[in-house]
């Protein structure tokens, strides 16, 4: 094996066909962006003539002759083994040192260990790779620890994932009772999923920022979100869940009339002695449905009086590549939670992932605190309802190549 610089064309061809874990930091669209604002280096791991791995290195200048390097989310390897990763990392370090590296940061987008949807470690899972921590440490890297916080400067360590390469009925069956009920309920309402254009980015950001503040998450700058949308727009779905209350009221009144007709028909048959036992039994079901329609009509009239006819319920931001669809950011209005807008959007985007031939739906970041005291417990509870498996990532590592200069640069505020 050998590592050497590669062309943009070689890098893009590799990621276009790569189907392993790949963060959007390695997307060719993100490379087009970052290479325009930072110094970038592309390295390839070769097995003979075959390109078997790639790495993007971004660098910022410090004290003129030194550089701070990041590998974004670590190298991509078509055939991952710890031995191949170790060799690639050693060669990346050698290359970086030759180019004035002061520090190198890696946040590998690969599994450290698997957990079930309750957060319990699955000890025997073959995807576990606990050796990766010592692999980096033995190369002189400092591990930033097993963080359980929403640190915006670092890659989140936990993500909830479901496999969607199966029939929709199987995905529904996998959900817990409440999530399955809520998801099915959205299909009985005239909810719409609208794609937002570039001139509507601010609408999404307003909804997200309101939610972020309410939950108490570490704030993500609006410009960072907008920049990400512009950068990845060709592989991004920005969606808004919407409902027209008048349309739903019309539907409910039609359903109410149908229940009244069913009740009247059975009562007439009962009066003249032609009703079957099944029909007599079902009249109570129709009456319960009628009461339910009346209750919903009253509820919709209240919503209309308070919020109007056209209601935006929630918004979500989804990125996709060959391997997965990722639920990056979302926001919703809690006062309109009756409509289960987030359930509807999630279900529709699961369907979209299937249409695109994508096998994984990644609910993305969790803190890793699975208790009710967790800052993100409400977010975790929503994701848990889909019965995902949870991938715990190893976290962030850094290595300082010249400690005296690094110390000076830090004192001068250059780092």
With b for 16 or more beta-carbon neighbours within 10 A and e for fewer, the 336-364 pattern comes to: beebbbbbbbbbbbbebbbeeebebbbbb
Same domain, 293 and 257: yes
Q: How many CB atoms lie within 10 A of CB 130?
A: 13
Q: Any idea what the CATH number is for the domain that residue 382 is in?
A: 3.40.630.30
Q: Cα(344)–Cα(352) distance, rounded to whole angstroms?
A: 12
Instruction: Give me the chain's average pLDDT, please.
Output: 94
- The confidence band for 278, taking pLDDT boundaries of 50, 70 and 90, is confident
Mean pLDDT for 228-242 is: 97
Across the beta sheet with 113-115, the strand order is: 113-115, 389-392, 158-163, 360-366, 324-332, 310-320, 236-244, 192-195
pLDDT at 365: 84
Boundary-marking domain end, from 263, 288, 307 = 307
Same domain, 205 and 284: no
Contact 95, 71 (CB under 8 A): no
Number of domains, the chain: 3
149 lies in a domain?
no
327 lies in a domain?
yes
Mean pLDDT for 61-75 is: 92
| % residues pLDDT > 90 (the chain) | 83
Q: How far is C-alpha 182 from the chain's CA centre?
A: 20
Does residue 273 register a pLDDT over 90?
no
Instruction: Output phi, psi for 77, to 5 deg.
Output: -125, 125
User: What count of Cα atoms within 13 Å lies in the side-chain half-sphere of residue 23?
Assistant: 22
Same domain, 216 and 97: no
Boundary-marking domain end, from 287, 307, 327 = 307
13 lies in a domain?
yes
Instruction: Output phi, psi for 278, to 5 deg.
Output: -65, -40
CA-angle at 368, arms to 116 and 347, nearest 5°? 60
297 lies in a domain?
yes
Same domain, 14 and 136: yes
Give the lowest-confidence range in 47-61, 100-114, 143-157, 360-374. 143-157
pLDDT at 150: 67
150 lies in a domain?
no
Same domain, 325 and 405: no
Q: Cα(221)–Cα(242) distance, rounded to whole angstroms?
A: 25
Boundary-marking domain end, from 281, 307, 333 = 307
Mean pLDDT for 261-267 is: 89
Instruction: Summarize pLDDT for 157-213 with one digit per residue, the tens.
Output: 999 999 999 999 999 999 999 999 999 999 999 999 999 999 999 999 999 999 988
Instruction: Summarize pLDDT for 288-330 with one digit per residue, the tens.
Output: 999 999 999 999 999 999 999 999 999 999 999 999 999 999 9
Does residue 287 register a pLDDT over 80?
yes
Cα-only R_g, the chain: 26
- The confidence band for 269, taking pLDDT boundaries of 50, 70 and 90, is confident
Residues in the chain: 415
Mean pLDDT for 207-232 is: 90
User: What count of Cα atoms within 13 Å lies in the side-chain half-sphere of residue 5?
Assistant: 9
pLDDT at 324: 97
pTM of the model: 0.93
Same domain, 344 and 214: yes
Same domain, 340 and 220: yes
Same domain, 136 and 166: no
- The confidence band for 385, taking pLDDT boundaries of 50, 70 and 90, is very high
23 lies in a domain?
yes
pLDDT at 42: 98
pLDDT at 320: 97
116 lies in a domain?
no
pLDDT at 413: 74
Same domain, 301 and 357: no
Same domain, 204 and 232: yes
Which residue's entry shows tokens 């943009």?
A: 8
pLDDT at 63: 85
Same domain, 52 and 8: yes
348 lies in a domain?
yes
Mean pLDDT for 146-155 is: 75
Same domain, 217 and 351: yes
Residues 6+ apart with CB under 8 A from 26: 15, 54, 56, 72, 73, 76, 109
What is the domain extent for residue 186?
159-244+309-392
């Amino acid at each position: 094996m050998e590592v050497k610089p590669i062309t943009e064309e070689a890098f893009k061809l590799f990621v276009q066909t790569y189907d392993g874990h790949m963060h959007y930091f390695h997307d060719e669209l993100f490379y087009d962006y970052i290479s325009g604002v930072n110094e970038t280096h592309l390295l390839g791991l070769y097995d003979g003539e075959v390109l078997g791995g790639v790495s993007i290195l971004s660098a910022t200048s410090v004290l003129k002759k030194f550089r701070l390097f990041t590998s974004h989310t670590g190298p991509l390897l078509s055939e991952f083994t710890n031995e191949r990763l170790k060799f690639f990392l050693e060669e990346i370090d050698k290359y970086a040192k030759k180019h004035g590296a002061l520090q190198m940061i890696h946040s590998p987008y690969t599994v450290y260990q698997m957990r079930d949807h309750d957060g319990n470690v699955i000890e025997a899972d073959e995807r576990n790779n606990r050796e990766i921590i010592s692999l980096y440490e033995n190369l002189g890297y400092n591990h930033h620890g097993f963080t359980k916080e929403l640190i915006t400067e670092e890659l989140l360590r936990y993500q909830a994932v479901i496999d969607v390469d199966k029939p929709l009925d199987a995905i529904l069956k996998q959900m817990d009772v409440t999530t399955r009920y809520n998801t099915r309920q959205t299909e009985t309402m005239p909810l719409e999923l609208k794609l937002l254009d570039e001139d509507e980015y601010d609408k999404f950001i307003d909804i997200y920022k309101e939610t972020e503040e309410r939950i108490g998450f570490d704030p993500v700058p609006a410009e960072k979100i907008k920049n990400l949308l512009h950068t990845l727009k060709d592989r991004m779905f920005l969606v808004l869940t919407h409902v027209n209350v008048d349309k739903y009221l019309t539907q409910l009144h039609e359903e109410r009339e149908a229940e009244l007709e069913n009740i009247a028909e059975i009562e007439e048959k009962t009066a003249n002695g032609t009703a079957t036992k099944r029909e007599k039994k079902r009249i109570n079901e129709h009456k319960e449905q009628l009461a339910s329609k009346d209750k919903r009509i009253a509820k919709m009239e209240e919503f209309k009086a308070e919020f109007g006819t056209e209601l935006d319920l929630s918004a979500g931001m989804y990125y996709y590549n060959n391997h997965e669809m990722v639920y990056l950011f979302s926001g919703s209005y809690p006062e309109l939670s009756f409509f289960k807008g987030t359930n509807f959007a999630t279900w529709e985007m699961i369907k979209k992932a299937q249409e695109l031939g994508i096998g994984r739906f990644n609910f993305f970041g969790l803190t890793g605190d699975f208790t009710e005291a967790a800052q993100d417990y409400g977010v975790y509870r929503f994701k848990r309802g889909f019965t995902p498996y949870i991938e715990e990532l190893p976290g962030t590592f850094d290595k300082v190549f010249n400690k005296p200069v690094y110390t000076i640069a830090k004192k001068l505020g250059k780092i």
